[in-house]
């Protein structure tokens, strides 16, 4: 007969014995609810004998606490939100990796959200983090397309640090020192050859405007007239396509110079691809037709053909400074009056310029 030999009563008893809530687990191991909370917050905060008892019962029952439910019962949680415009952008991927590792080492749980360049998804992501009552957030806003009201509402209620670019000066910012990095590469290009023409990204945020303004100041300081080629396209975050299309248009009209400085490496990849298809030789040799330089030190910049001269942003230092500032704010110990921390970049010389 089906079920013959099965002790239904024993099976039911076993199912009842498996705790499903913190209260049930507290009863199962004979430890108070507040002590359990301390254990899950920091195992080292409870006595060794109590810790061993809890760990043994966890092993026996396989109980897993519902961290989200616990967070909702707190005014402040151990979760930290990370919001970047597009996780497919290697700059943000490099930065997020470092942020997550630092936060984990500090005992926080990072929650990463990418709106993929879409303002409505950025707004939705902020609302999600608010509902989860994150302890703080590290945010690289979309920029000009961001919902300023939604951002102000979120940053007014949650400790936040802006990354890379900001919306206003009310929130601390950690990012690259664009004035220093653009000046350094412009100075190098002017010393080593013809003055650079600047190919800009679409104007998506403050950072893009800062870089183009820094280029204009640096090229004038070297005694030359600035020439900025505006980037555009249906998708401003598809920067390789923006660079490729802009270079094709320049080739059709006649190149305005023999040295091109791109606002970032992804633009430069598109420029190099279009130049290669047109039969141009890129490099700094006597037989080369064109020099191309970028900015950011994209992970693939050393493997492009030719390898790309660029400015390497200090991801480690930016991540360290941003996390330190945010955690100080969360702890109520932020005595830093600086609204901006700008980290210098390093010139990386390769074959393209």
Give the CATH number of the domain where residue 135 resides.
Answer: 3.40.50.2300
207 and 145 share a domain?
Answer: no
Q: Is residue 350 part of a domain?
A: no
Rounded to two decimals, the pTM is: 0.76
Q: Is residue 3 part of a domain?
A: no
226 and 300 share a domain?
Answer: yes
Helix or strand run (H / E) with residue 174: strand 173-176
Q: What is the pLDDT of residues 103-114, one digit of tens each?
A: 999 989 999 999
184 and 292 share a domain?
Answer: yes
DSSP designation for 45: G
Q: Is residue 72 part of a domain?
A: no
**Vertex 246 angle, CA 240 and 252, to 5°:** 135
How far apart, in whole angstroms, are the C-alpha atoms of residue 42 and residue 236? 44
Q: Is residue 71 part of a domain?
A: no
Q: Is residue 353 part of a domain?
A: no
Q: How many domains does the chain have?
A: 3
Q: Is residue 339 part of a domain?
A: yes
What is the pLDDT, as a whole number, of residue 65?
Answer: 66
φ/ψ region of 254 (left if φ > 0, alpha if ψ in -120 to 50, else beta) reads left
Q: Is residue 95 part of a domain?
A: yes
212 and 274 share a domain?
Answer: yes
What is the pLDDT, as a whole number, of residue 18?
Answer: 75
More confident residue, 12 or 42: 42
Residue 157 belongs to domain spanning: 79-176+316-345
* Buried b or exposed e, range 255-274, using 16+ CB within 10 angstroms: bebebbbbbbbbbbbbbbbb
274 and 190 share a domain?
Answer: yes
189 and 288 share a domain?
Answer: yes
219 and 304 share a domain?
Answer: yes
Q: What is the pLDDT of residues 165-196, one digit of tens each?
A: 888 788 999 999 999 999 999 999 999 999 99
162 and 183 share a domain?
Answer: no
196 within 8 A of 293, measured Cβ to Cβ: yes
233 within 8 A of 242, measured Cβ to Cβ: yes
């Amino acid at each position: 007969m089906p079920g013959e030999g099965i002790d239904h009563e024993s099976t039911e008893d076993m199912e009842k014995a498996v705790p499903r809530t913190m209260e049930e687990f507290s009863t199962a191991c004979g430890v108070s609810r507040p002590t359990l909370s301390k254990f899950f917050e920091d195992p080292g905060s409870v006595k060794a004998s109590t810790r061993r008892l809890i760990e043994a019962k966890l092993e026996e029952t396989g109980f897993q606490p519902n961290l989200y439910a616990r967070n909702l019962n707190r005014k402040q949680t151990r979760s930290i939100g990370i919001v970047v415009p597009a996780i497919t952008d290697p700059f943000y991927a490099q930065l997020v990796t470092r942020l997550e590792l630092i936060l984990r080492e500090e005992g926080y749980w990072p929650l990463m959200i990418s709106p993929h360049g879409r303002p409505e998804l950025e707004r939705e992501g902020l609302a999600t983090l608010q509902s989860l009552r994150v302890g703080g957030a590290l945010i690289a806003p979309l920029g000009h397309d961001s919902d300023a009201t939604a951002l102000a509402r979120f940053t007014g209620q949650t400790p936040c640090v802006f990354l890379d670019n900001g919306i206003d000066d009310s929130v601390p910012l950690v990012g690259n020192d664009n004035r220093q990095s653009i000046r350094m590469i412009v100075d190098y290009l002017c010393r080593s050859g013809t003055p650079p023409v600047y190919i800009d990204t679409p104007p998506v945020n403050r950072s893009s405007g800062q870089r183009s303004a820094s280029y204009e100041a640096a090229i004038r300081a070297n005694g030359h007239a600035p020439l900025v080629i505006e980037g555009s396209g249906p998708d401003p975050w598809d920067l390789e396509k923006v660079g490729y299309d802009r270079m094709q248009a320049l080739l059709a009209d006649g190149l305005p110079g023999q040295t091109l400085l791109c606002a970032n490496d992804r633009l430069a990849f598109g420029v190099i691809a279009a130049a290669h298809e047109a039969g141009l030789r890129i490099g700094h040799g006597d037989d080369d037709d064109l020099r191309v330089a970028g900015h950011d030190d994209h992970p693939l910049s050393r493997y492009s053909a030719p390898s790309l001269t660029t400015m390497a942003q200090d991801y480690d230092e930016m991540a360290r400074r941003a996390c330190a500032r945010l955690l100080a704010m969360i702890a109520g110990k932020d005595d830093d009056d600086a609204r901006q921390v700008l980290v210098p970049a390093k010139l990386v010389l390769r074959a393209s310029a």
